[in-house]
A and B are shown apart, each in its own frame.
Chain A
């Protein structure tokens, strides 16, 4: 199904998509998208949505299955509380992406904004993954409770990541391609070298990532990565008296 979204309000457009999904439509191509919010929100089916233009906030919120390809930049709140599915953005995205995300993959070619992957969680085999090719703002992985985040810094900008990385982090793992100055780190985080297993783990995802965006996998892997994990699974364990 092809929709020309020019000048369309998000509400009838999203309803059109929901109705079409309900009646069995599997592929959507949305042209002339310009800021329409909530695309793919709450969809549970394995449909494919290609977006030509810049979608609005909360793309893929509460999404559980679809694959969304954005052929432009994204705005804020993408993959909010996403449960399963894939979001691939061929540009930069804004703030608070992957909030409470607990499954699926979210690949961004360029930079990401503030508060990426906040409250990201995992449960058994459901492990959410965010990979960004550029740099990130402050509060990367704040309150992170599970999942994997990889930041590549392929755009040569510095610093790679803003302040307060992993503040309140108590689960999951962050891989950053390059060095992170200790003063950028939240006090709940420790820096480690990659083990062989780590390298194997991220190689799998990064191969797929490089295929999507045309990066050279060997070049991506040629740099040294930093691994960040929480110091404690109970960061506030000793704060209270009963």
Chain B
């Protein structure tokens, strides 16, 4: 069918500056630029990934929004009309990548961090030791010691713990959704920074063998690449029940992306669809979840913490309570702004709830029930800056996970075309010529720089709060104040409005 879709972007080429080196042509993985005597653009193909402009040595390329792609309108917005046209032409479900771009409220930006000036003198973060270390895993009700004062030892048997030097972990992104070089960069950075990366549900590539003590391995419904070796070669094991970008929806890696290497890692034949629907077919209740948790604990000889990942939905507090009672050592909650390699747009943009509200509800519920110590809470779903991390920890999280932010650090331009497999930056692609574009060493350096910078910023904020350990901030909602929020929202978040004192 003839397409009626107008171009979204216009690629402007300044022919006076252009020296015809054709670098843009080579760099455009969406076939939007050609060379016929001079550089010409097929605007309809452009996704605004900015690869061409970034690599043009003459700065001759600019990409702009097509000013009249559709006449503006608030109700019948260009995007709504574009989607109607696409579906009228295809009859298909619209797929999309990356996180929810819609203008829902971002509660992080309506929470401010308190400072301390007189009663608790501030700490100089540049001079004094500032502790960011965090331990993930179940904590005991109380500690018992034995021996006497000169020779004291811990009597309580501790559940397995994973030490993080910084309370920021790389989010689950599978090999398949992202490239091997992206995975390598994440693993290297996790090792160097004393934190963790997460395989996602795609199995563990053999090239990551040297990093297994810094890797979270995932068990999802499709059980791709899951063996006892995989479970044991990890820092911790995560059962994936849900994902913020697509609650209630599973994964689907189309067969054309399942090449030789992915087929080996996922343990399926080349070219077959990798389907992992939302339900684990052996889990219909919390008791069943508990069974899987303990099957994993038995398989790993009770040496690995087991995490359960769920999407933020309105019942998340009750679900989290069940998860903790089922024996999980970590609850991972993913908010509705979390990223994805591919999801039906209708799900990504309209299903689920913000992480801020979910986190507050879960932490509250676990405290009320007296079981907050039994599991660590990890949260993700659009953690965009160090301030978001601090606010999340003050709201009750133990640590945060970053997916999109880590991809942006590696070069992602959030063009949202991950599902096409044409990522011009070598991140969300399996095409060897594109994967090559991401040098794992360089990617790791960029990731380490990001974490280093956020770590320093968190230390600065802790200093301003007059505390010298992230531990002291955990669940300390008194240190947050809301601005521009309704009373109901403030109640859910469990924080006071700015201007209210002790």
* A positions within 8 Å CB-CB of B: 10-11, 14-15, 18, 37-38, 41-44, 57-58, 61-64, 76-77, 80-81, 83, 96, 99-100, 102, 115, 118-119, 121-124, 126, 142-143, 145-146, 168, 170-171, 233-242
Contact of B86 among A58, A81, A145, A241 (CB under 8 A): A241
Chain B residues positioned under 8 Å from A76 (CB to CB):
282
Question: Is there an interface contact between B291 and A37, defined as CB atoms closer than 8 Å?
Answer: yes
B87 touches A123 (CB 8 A): no
Contact with A along B255-284 (1 / 0, CB 8 A): 100000001100111011101010001100
On chain B, the residues within 8 Å of A233 by CB distance are 255, 271-273
| Contact A121/B268 with A57-B291, A241-B92 known, Cβ cut-off 8 Å | yes
B233 interfacial by beta-carbon distance below 8 Å: no
Contact: B291 with A77, CB < 8 Å?
yes
Known interface pairs A119-B221, A240-B93. Does A234 touch B268 (Cβ–Cβ under 8 Å)?
no
Interface of B is mostly: mixed
Q: Is the CB of A80 within 8 A of B295?
A: yes
Q: Is B175 located at the chain interface by the 8 A CB criterion?
A: no
CB distance from B94 to the nearest CB of A (A): 6
Q: Which residues of A contact B223 (CB under 8 A)?
A: 81, 99-100, 119, 121
The answer to whether B281 and A99 touch across the interface, beta carbons within 8 angstroms, is yes
Chain B residues near A102 (CB-CB < 8 A):
267
Q: Which residues of B contact A64 (CB under 8 A)?
A: 227-229
Distance, CA A237 to CA B223, complexed state (A):
21
Determine whether the beta carbon of A62 is less than 8 Å from that of B295: yes
A-B contact count (CB 8 A): 134
Most chain B beta carbons < 10 A, residue from A80, A119, A122: A119
Nearest A residue (CB) for B271: A233
Q: Is the CB of B271 within 8 A of A61?
A: no
Q: Which 3 A-B pairs have the closest CB atoms?
A: A42-B299, A241-B92, A100-B223
Contact across chains for B264 and A18 when beta carbons are under 8 A apart = no
Q: Which of B92, B231, B275 contacts A240 (CB 8 A)?
A: B92
Closest to A170 in B: B273
Residues on the B chain within 8 Å of A83, using CB = 227-228
Known A-B contacts A44-B228, A62-B226, A100-B223; A239 and B269 likewise in contact (beta carbons under 8 Å): no
A44: chain B residues within 8 A (beta carbon): 228-229
Q: Across the interface, do B275 and A168 meet the contact criterion of CB distance under 8 Å?
A: yes
Against A, the Cβ 8 Å flags (1 = close, 0 = not) of B73-114 are 000000000000011011111110000000000000000000
Question: Within the assembled complex, what's the spacing in Å between the Cα atoms of A241 and B420?
Answer: 10
With contact pairs A14-B298, A233-B273 given, residues A239 and B226 touching in the complex (Cβ less than 8 Å): no
Partner of A81 from B90, B92, B93, B226 at Cβ < 8 Å: B226
Is the Cβ of A171 less than 8 Å from the Cβ of B231? no
Question: Taking the nearest CB of chain A, how far is it from the CB of B281, in angstroms?
Answer: 5
Q: How far is the CB of A241 from the nearest CB of chain B, in Å?
A: 3
* Nearest residue, chain B, Cβ from A11: B298
User: Smallest distance from the beta carbon of A101 to chain B beta carbons, Å?
Assistant: 9
* Chain B residue with the shortest CB-CB distance to A19: B301
**Which residues does chain A contribute within 8 Å of B344, judged by CB atoms?**
240
Does residue B294 face the partner (Cβ distance < 8 Å to A)? yes
Cα of A11 to Cα of B292 in the assembled complex, Å: 14
When the two chains form their complex, are residues B228 and A80 in contact, meaning their CB atoms are under 8 A apart? no
- Nearest CB on B from A163, distance (A): 15
Which of B87, B232, B267, B344: most chain A Cβ within 10 A?
Answer: B267
Task: Tell me, in angstroms, the Cα distance from A44 to B301 when the chains sit together.
Answer: 13
> Please, how many residues of chain B have a CB less than 8 angstroms from a CB on the other chain?
45
CB-CB nearest in chain A for B97: A242
Given contacts A77-B282, A236-B252, contact A18 B269 (CB under 8 A): no
Complex partner residue of B92 from A38, A63, A123, A238, CB under 8 angstroms:
A238
Chain B residue with the shortest CB-CB distance to A115: B281
B193 to chain A, nearest CB (A): 30
- In the bound complex, CA of A37 to CA of B87 (Å): 50
Contacts of B198 in A (CB 8 A): none
Report the minimal beta-carbon distance from B349 to chain A, rounded to whole angstroms.
16
Q: Is the CB of B275 within 8 A of A241?
A: no
Give the distance to chain B from A57, nearest Cβ to Cβ, in Å.
Answer: 6
Q: A237 vs B255: C-alpha distance in the bound complex, in angstroms?
A: 9
B424 to chain A, nearest CB (A): 16
Say how far B156's CB is from chain A's closest CB, in angstroms.
18
- Kindly report which residue of chain B lies nearest to residue A101, judged by CB atoms: B223
> What are 15 A-B contacts with C-beta separation under 8 Å?
A11-B298, A18-B301, A41-B299, A42-B232, A42-B300, A62-B231, A83-B227, A83-B228, A100-B226, A121-B268, A122-B269, A143-B281, A146-B272, A233-B271, A240-B95
Chain A minimum-CB-distance residue to B87? A241
**Bound-complex Cα distance A187 to B169 (A):** 42
> What's the least CB distance linking B423 to chain A, in Å?
13
Q: A38-B294, A42-B300, A64-B227 are known contacts. Are A234 and B93 too (CB-CB below 8 A)?
A: no
Query: Quick one: closest A residue to B89, CB to CB?
Result: A241
Q: How far is B268's CA from A157's CA once the two chains are assembled, in angstroms? A: 35
Q: Which residues of B contact A235 (CB under 8 A)?
A: 273
Asked if B282 and A96 make an inter-chain contact with CB atoms under 8 angstroms apart, the answer reads yes
CB of A104, distance to nearest CB on chain B (Å): 12
- B93 partner, pick from A58, A96, A142, A241, beta carbons under 8 A: A241
Contact partner of A123 among B90, B269, B296, CB < 8 A?
Answer: B269
Q: Which residues of A contact B255 (CB under 8 A)?
A: 233-234, 237
Query: Quick check: A145 and B226 within 8 Å, CB to CB?
Result: no
Contact assessment for A123 and B264 in the assembled complex, using a CB-CB cutoff below 8 Å: yes
| Most chain B beta-carbon contacts within 10 A, residue among A57, A96, A118, A241 | A241
A61-B295, A115-B281, A168-B275 known, 15 other contacts, Cβ within 8 Å: A11-B298, A42-B228, A58-B292, A62-B296, A62-B299, A64-B227, A64-B228, A96-B282, A100-B226, A118-B281, A126-B267, A145-B275, A240-B93, A241-B90, A241-B92
B94, B264, B295: the one within 8 Å of A38 (CB): B295
Q: Is the CB of A63 within 8 A of B90?
A: no
- Distance between Cα atoms of A100 and B292 in the complex (Å): 13
Per a CB cutoff under 8 Å, which of B92, B282, B298 touches A99?
B282
Chain A residue, CB-CB nearest to B274: A145
B305 within 8 A of A: no
Interface residues of B in 415-447 (CB under 8 A from A): 419-420
**Interface-centre pick from B93, B228, B252, B344 (highest chain A CB count, 10 A):** B228
User: Is B482 close to A, CB under 8 A?
Assistant: no
Interface centre among B254, B255, B292 (most CB of A within 10 A): B292
